[in-house]
Amino acid sequence: MKHLLIAAGLLTATSAMAAEKPQLTVYTYDSFVSDWGPGPKAEEAFEAVCNCDLKLVGVEDGAALLSRIRLEGENSEADIVLGLDTNLIETAKKTGLFTPHAVEADYTLPIEWADDTFVPYDWGYFAFVHKAGVDAPSSFRELADSDRKILIQDPRSSTPGLGLLLWIKSAYGDEANDIWADLSDNIVTVTKGWSEAYGLFLDGEADMVLSYTTSPAYHLIAEEDDSKTTATFDEGHYMQIEVAAKLAGTNQSELADQFLNFMVSDAFQTIIPTTNWMYPSVTPVGGLPEGFNSLKVPAKALFFSPEEAVSARSEALPEWLEALSQ
């Protein structure tokens, strides 16, 4: 009983201490908050300057994250949502749950960024990762004509999967379904998420796996392993840009603005490359970490605006299903 009282006392004490500081709640995807993601370091860096308590809440992935916000609606605990990508922006905007930001930054994105609500914090090119030293196809056509085996993710359950769908759609338009039909015998299998496909690739189940041009950086930096590289396609590479935004219902509006500004500052941007394994949206003063500079850079960036992405998806998904269900 005595112990209980002491414990209760301690709890009240800590919550009282916490109550003195304002709390900023950020909803993000699970891999952001994991011990190996940007979350812990970003939290430490922001709390060092904000005199606040940053609370990160992890929700599976970007799509699930948006669903969670829609589920909670106007009285969500979240002040910030971090981790949507450009393919989800249009849907997110239509909910009316987000409010414009006041962030100004010198983005180092391959495209012009002018969205008034969503702030980009990192980006990357989708690409097929393969073993270094092996000839790789230089286009989808060449890939489809070859007997190379690939692992891809399902666009209905995975962000890279959807990325590939839009990649081919943006490169081939109305011919996208022919490409898919020709690719179907190259596809070993389609997985639910990125982890399954990448794990199978590392086990040797296929020649190439759909991932990012930045993936080899992980092996290079974390494992000192230069045996992975990416295939550069002549059609160009589709981009993923990850964004954050402030919720209209926030009661920590200033703190939220402070966080969004912090997010595009060096303190946050230097964390991104070696935790999220993506390009920072504003290259830090000190440049990119060693290893990122040796990555292959596509000659052409492909990108659908948020509005285009929604209609491209609804057009491309049935084509994809049709082509691969034969």
118 binds another protein (CB under 8 A): no
- Closest to another protein by CB, 79 vs 154, is 154
Work out whether 39 is an interface residue with another protein (CB under 8 A). Answer: yes
Q: Which stretch binds another protein (CB under 8 A): 171-179, 187-195, 284-292, 295-303?
A: 187-195
Q: Does 64 bind another protein (CB under 8 A)?
A: yes
The 145-184 contact track toward another protein, x by CB under 8 A, reads ----x----x-xx----x---------------------x
| Sequence-ordered list of residues with C-beta below 8 angstroms from that of 280, at least 6 positions apart, any chain | 108, 121, 122, 269, 270, 272, 273, 288
Q: Which is nearer to another protein, 35 or 104 (CB)?
A: 35
Q: What is d(CA 129, CA 110) in angstroms, rounded to the nearest whole number? A: 21
Torsion of CA 286, 292, 297, 303, to 10 degrees: -80
**CA separation for the pair 273, 38 (Å, rounded):** 9
Q: Which of 37, 83, 163, 284 is in the footprint of another protein by CB under 8 A? A: 37
CB 53 within 8 A of CB 24: yes
Rounded to whole angstroms, how far apart are CA atoms 197 and 161? 10
**Number of Cβ within a 10 Å radius of residue 268:** 23
115 contacts another protein (rule: CB under 8 A): no
Mark 44-57 as b/e (b = at least 16 C-beta within 10 Å).
ebbeeebebbbebe
CB 264 within 8 A of CB 281: yes
What single letter denotes the amino acid at residue 167?
A: W
Which tokens go with 31? 């891999």
35: contact with another protein by CB under 8 A: yes
Q: Which residues contact 317 (CB under 8 A, 6 or more apart)?
A: 155, 156, 165
Q: Is residue 59 a contact point for another protein (CB under 8 A)?
A: yes
Binding status of residue 321 toward another protein by CB under 8 A: yes
Could you say whether residue 132 binds another protein (CB under 8 A)? no
Does residue 36 touch another protein according to CB under 8 A?
yes
Kindly state the smallest distance separating residue 320's Cβ from another protein, in Å. Answer: 7
Which residues lie below 8 Å from residue 292, measured CB to CB, with a gap of 6+? 214, 217, 273, 279
Nearest approach in angstroms of CB 300 to another protein is 27
Stretch that binds another protein, among 68-76, 102-110, 278-286, 287-295 (CB under 8 A): 68-76
Per CB under 8 A, does 320 bind another protein? yes
> Cβ closer to another protein: 57 or 109?
57
Which chain residues interact with another protein by CB under 8 A?
Answer: 30-31, 33-37, 39, 56-61, 63-64, 66-67, 70-72, 77, 91, 149, 154, 156-157, 162, 184, 187-196, 198-200, 202-206, 215, 218-219, 222, 277, 320-321, 324-325
